[in-house]
Amino acid sequence: TAKKIGILVGSLRKDSYTRKVAQALVSLAPSTLTFEFIDIGELPLYNQDLEENGAVAPAAWTAFRQRVQGCDGVLFFTPEYNRSVPAALKNAIDVGSRPYGSSVWGGKPGAILSVSPGAIGGFGANHHLRQSMVFLDVPLLQQPEAYIGGAAKLFDDSGKLANEGTQQFLQKFAAAYAHWVDTNARPANA
Ligand code: FNR
């Protein structure tokens, strides 16, 4: 049966290059994977007071946690903000990691793709995100690494990925990730 993969996009803007790369990967991935884009833009900033000492967690947090929990793996597509992960994406990771002992991330096979119009391809964001994933026990695809640079020049006027080399790379990446999901599946928090 197909594996369901949650996609988190670290940019909230509608014409996001990062989102377009995510859409391209979806169209190039093997049919053993299905995808669900999981919105992060409406999550209140994480604050323990909102769910501890009798407080009921914001509905957006609960819905987000359930959507991640329902996935067999997670793909992170991140832009780079000031050489790190955009706050919206870090917030989503933090929300999913709590309450303490109930993280939704543990054991979900994951992968990271960073995207930037610049030449470094979001390397700083990519590796800061890896640091959090080590602690959250997300088995993370190591190779191929995905630093998608020059992103402003990869798309045609309709917003579709038009660069053949990048298409081939994303296809290869998706195939490697599909294999990763198959070989690293394990129960949450195991
Ligand atoms: C950026 N940008 C950026 N780019 C980069 O390569 N390294 C960086 O450290 C930063 N820093 C940064 C900070 C902030 C606050 C913003 C808004 C932007 C530029 C960024 O790569 C560019 O805006 C991309 O278009 C953002 O990705 P999306 O929205 O196109 O997916």
C-alpha 156/C-alpha 169 separation (Å) is 18
Q: Residue 150 is part of which domain span?
A: 3-184
CATH at 103 = 3.40.50.360
ipTM of this predicted complex? 0.99
Q: What pTM was estimated for this model as a whole?
A: 0.97
Per-residue confidence (pLDDT) for residue 1, from 0 to 100: 84
Tell me whether residue 133 is in a domain. Answer: yes
Ligand 1: nearest atom to the Cα of 10: 31
Per-residue confidence (pLDDT) for residue 29, from 0 to 100: 98
Tell me whether residue 136 is in a domain. Answer: yes
Per-residue confidence (pLDDT) for residue 180, from 0 to 100: 98
Tell me whether residue 66 is in a domain. Answer: yes
Per-residue confidence (pLDDT) for residue 155, from 0 to 100: 97
Tell me whether residue 189 is in a domain. Answer: no
Give me the number of domains the chain comprises. 1
Ligand 1: nearest atom to the Cα of 20: 31
Per-residue confidence (pLDDT) for residue 187, from 0 to 100: 58
Closest residue CA from atom 26 of ligand 1: 79
Triad 119, 121, 124: Cα angle to 5°? 115
Task: Decide whether any atom of ligand 1 lies within 6 Å of the 116 Cβ.
Answer: yes
Q: What is the pLDDT of residues 161-170, one digit of tens each?
A: 999 999 999 9
Sheet holding 110-115, edge to edge: 33-37, 3-9, 73-78, 110-115, 147-148
- The stretches in the chain having pLDDT less than 70 are 187-190
Tell me whether residue 106 is in a domain. Answer: yes
Tell me whether residue 84 is in a domain. Answer: yes
Tell me whether residue 46 is in a domain. Answer: yes
Q: Output the CA 19–ligand 1 centroid distance in Å.
A: 13
Task: Decide whether any atom of ligand 1 lies within 6 Å of the 81 Cβ.
Answer: yes
Task: Decide whether any atom of ligand 1 lies within 6 Å of the 14 Cβ.
Answer: no
